[in-house]
């Protein structure tokens, strides 16, 4: 049931945002500290990148795991997903090693795969389409909050207490999130006769070309973004010798950029129309990819380039989410899980290709990212008809 007002959902927005800040801090902490983890564990950077790739590849299970939001209810799916995250991060405290880091990344990803689609489907159920971009943007503050607050805190903990220290902290915070969501969310478990099967959900999605095109758009822009995202920490450390705390501070710049992108979604995407907003964002993101190595000869230039790159991508991707929520309402959580799977598959491809492309310099990564972003724009305009 949709509601035109966001006011009745205020408590849920607050808890969603807090939860996603914790969830996304755990998801993003590997990027700026990839070299730090490698040194602490005595492995090559490529080994950490392999763990990131495996985590992203796990996102391909989204079409299966994400269906839980449709089959068992939004609330139960969200609580189960967050429990997996807490368990995975607790493992690192018990057995601090490369395998435990691998497990933490995988279980954390599984939790995100289940939680995010269920949460987005919940918003699709309760917020009218003409206000949905604002609703999605409010919860996406948890993504920028990870860079703005979570990663600098992680950087401080690593510098002061070692690489293991952020993991038990995040596990404890997630347990608090689980309790808060249990309290504020209504029980919405479907009755046996109303359960949506995985097969029927995906039949509806596959038979609707705009839905497939939207998934392709998510895939392409995620490959392009990750091909730069996976190497920015290495680029900053190699070019300017930035240390752990400074890399965490650079993440704050990215956090401000993403917060700005989410703010733009909240204020203009519903007015522009979702498709038009995504298209504008894709063009700016492609330009930002090319601009990054052009102005990246000083720390100030790099930080400005990263700010524009992450702002434009965040605006684009968050504007796409409410569009996707309306494409197949009868299988909303399943399609949102498919969208997450497409993005995860894109990140997996981007992590592999980006790490390899960086051997030829940042220009190669930037050109590759811009090209795929423009291709995503073509797919969007050609096949997605919903505004």
pLDDT at position 38 over 60: yes
Average model confidence (pLDDT) for the chain? 88
Residue 312's pLDDT is 96
Q: Please identify which residue in the block is written with the tokens 């995620």.
A: 222
Residue 243's pLDDT is 56
Tell me 164's DSSP state. Answer: T
Domain count, the chain: 1
Dmax over CA atoms of the chain, in Å, equals 62
> Most confidently modeled of 60-69, 74-83, 236-245?
74-83
Which of 200-204, 220-224, 268-272, 321-325 is predicted with the least confidence, judged by mean pLDDT? 200-204
**φ, ψ of residue 72 in degrees (nearest 5):** -115, -5
CA 102 to chain centre: 19
173's CB contacts (< 8 A; 6+ apart) are 22
pLDDT at position 36 over 90: no
> Does residue 94 sit within a domain?
yes
pLDDT at position 285 over 90: yes
Residue 143's pLDDT is 86
pLDDT at position 23 over 60: yes
> Does residue 378 sit within a domain?
yes
Work out the number of other CB atoms within 10 angstroms of the CB of residue 209: 11
Residue 3's pLDDT is 54
> Does residue 2 sit within a domain?
no
Residue 118's pLDDT is 94
Residue 165's pLDDT is 93
pLDDT at position 19 over 90: yes
3-class SS letters over 179-199: HHHHHHCCCCCCCHHHCCCHH
Task: Residue 198: give its domain's CATH number.
Answer: 1.20.1250.20
> Does residue 1 sit within a domain?
no
Residue 282's pLDDT is 97
Residue pair 148/368 in contact by the 8 Å Cβ criterion: no
pLDDT at position 168 over 90: yes
Q: Any alpha helices (H) in the chain, and if so which ranges? A: 10-28, 34-41, 45-58, 62-65, 68-71, 74-94, 98-126, 132-145, 151-161, 166-184, 198-206, 209-229, 232-240, 244-264, 270-272, 274-295, 299-325, 332-357, 362-383
> Does residue 189 sit within a domain?
yes
> Most confidently modeled of 228-232, 248-252, 319-323?
319-323
Q: Is the dihedral of CA 25, 367, 349, 311 positive or negative?
A: positive
Q: Please identify which residue in the block is written with the tokens 């950077």.
A: 45
pLDDT at position 137 over 90: yes
Which of 4-8, 10-14, 188-192 is predicted with the least confidence, judged by mean pLDDT? 4-8
Six-digit token pair at 345? 């598959």
Residue pair 81/118 in contact by the 8 Å Cβ criterion: yes
> Most confidently modeled of 8-17, 51-60, 92-101?
92-101
> Does residue 111 sit within a domain?
yes
pLDDT at position 232 over 80: no
Q: Which domain holds residue 138?
A: 7-383
pLDDT mean over 34-53: 88
Which of 8-22, 208-222, 229-243, 367-381 is predicted with the least confidence, judged by mean pLDDT? 229-243
Please tell me which residue, 73 or 235, carries the higher pLDDT value: 73
Distance separating alpha carbons of residues 205 and 201, to the nearest angstrom: 7
Residue 239's pLDDT is 67
Residue 130 C-beta-side C-alpha neighbours within 13 Å:
3
pLDDT at position 235 over 80: no
Residue 255's pLDDT is 76
> Does residue 87 sit within a domain?
yes
Residue 5's pLDDT is 55
> Does residue 141 sit within a domain?
yes
> Residue 127 forms beta bridges with which residues?
3
């Amino acid at each position: 049931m949709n509601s035109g007002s966001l006011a009745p959902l205020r408590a849920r927005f607050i808890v969603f945002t807090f939860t996603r800040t914790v969830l996304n801090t755990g998801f993003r902490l590997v990027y700026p500290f990839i070299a730090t983890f490698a040194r602490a564990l005595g492995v090559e950077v490529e080994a950490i990148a392999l763990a990131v790739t495996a985590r992203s590849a796990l996102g391909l299970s989204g079409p299966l795991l994400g269906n839980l939001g449709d089959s068992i209810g939004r609330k139960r799916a969200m609580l189960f997903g967050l429990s997996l995250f807490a368990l995975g991060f607790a493992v690192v405290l018990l057995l601090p090693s490369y395998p435990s880091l691998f497990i933490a990344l995988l279980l954390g990803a599984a939790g995100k795969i289940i939680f995010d689609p269920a949460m987005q489907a919940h918003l699709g159920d309760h917020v009218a389409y003409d206000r949905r971009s604002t609703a999605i943007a409010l919860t996406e503050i948890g993504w920028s909050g990870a860079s703005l607050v979570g990663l600098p805190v992680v950087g401080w903990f690593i510098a002061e207490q070692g690489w293991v220290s952020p993991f038990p902290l995040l596990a404890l915070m997630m347990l608090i999130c689980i309790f808060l969501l249990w309290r504020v969310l209504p029980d919405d478990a479907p009755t046996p006769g109303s359960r949506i099967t995985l097969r029927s959900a995906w039949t509806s999605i596959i038979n609707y070309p705009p839905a497939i095109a939207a998934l392709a758009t998510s895939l392409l822009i995620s490959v392009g973004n990750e091909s730069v995202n996976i190497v920015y920490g290495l680029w900053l450390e190699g070019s300017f010798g930035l240390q752990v705390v400074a890399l965490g501070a650079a993440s704050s710049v990215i956090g401000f950029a993403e917060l700005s992108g989410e703010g733009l979604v909240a204020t203009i995407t519903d007015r522009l129309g979702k498709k038009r907003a995504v298209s504008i964002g894709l063009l700016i993101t492609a330009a930002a990819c090319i601009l990054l190595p052009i102005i990246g000869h000083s720390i100030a230039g790099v930080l400005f380039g990263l700010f524009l790159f992450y702002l434009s991508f965040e605006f684009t991707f968050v504007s796409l989410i409410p569009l996707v929520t309306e494409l197949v309402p009868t299988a909303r959580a399943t399609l949102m899980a498919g969208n997450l799977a497409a993005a995860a598959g894109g990140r997996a491809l981007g992590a592999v290709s980006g790490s390899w492309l960086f051997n030829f310099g940042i220009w190669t990564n930037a050109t590759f990212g811009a090209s795929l972003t423009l291709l995503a724009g073509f797919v969007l305009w050609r096949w997605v008809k919903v505004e």
